[in-house]
Amino acid sequence: MSELPVIQKMYDFILWYAPHLNRMLRRMQFVLGDRIQGTMYDVLEGLIEARYDPDRLPLLQRLNAKLDVLRHQTRLCRDFDLPDVRRYEFSGKALRAAVGEGAER
C-alpha cells in the first residue's frame, strides 16, 4: 500500500514542528510543548489506524477534534509569544495543508 497523502503531510508537519517546540523556553516546553507533541503523535497514529479500519468515520471524527485541540495549542504558543510570527503563520498553513481545509469544520 502506498502512503496516503494526509499521513505523509502530517508526518512532514511533525518533522518541521517538533524541533521548534524543542527550542521553547524550558518552562513552557515541559507543559505546552509536550502536550502539542503528544497531540501531533496521536493524530499521526490515528490517521494510520484509520487507514486500515473499514469503519473509520468515528475515528476520523475524534481525530478532527484532536486537530482542533492542536490548533488551539498552537495558538496558545503564539499568545505566549513563543514562536515568531512567521513560524506561527507557517505552522497554521502547514497544519491546514496536512489535513485539508475540509477538516477544519
pLDDT, average across residues 27-41? 84
The verdict on residue 59 lying in a domain is yes
Q: What is the CATH number of the domain that holds 33?
A: 1.20.1440.60
What's the pLDDT tens digit per position in 54-70?
A: 999 999 999 999 999 99
Taking the complete model, does pTM exceed 0.85, yes or no?
no
pLDDT on residue 80 = 76
- Backbone dihedral region of 100: left (phi > 0), alpha (psi from -120 to 50 degrees) or beta? left
pLDDT, average across residues 15-25? 80
The verdict on residue 40 lying in a domain is yes
- Owning domain of residue 83: 5-99
pLDDT, average across residues 12-26? 81
> Phi and psi dihedrals of 81, rounded to 5?
60, 40
The verdict on residue 60 lying in a domain is yes
Tally of domains within the chain: 1
pLDDT on residue 31 = 82
Q: Which three cell numbers stand for residue 37?
A: 507533541
The verdict on residue 105 lying in a domain is no
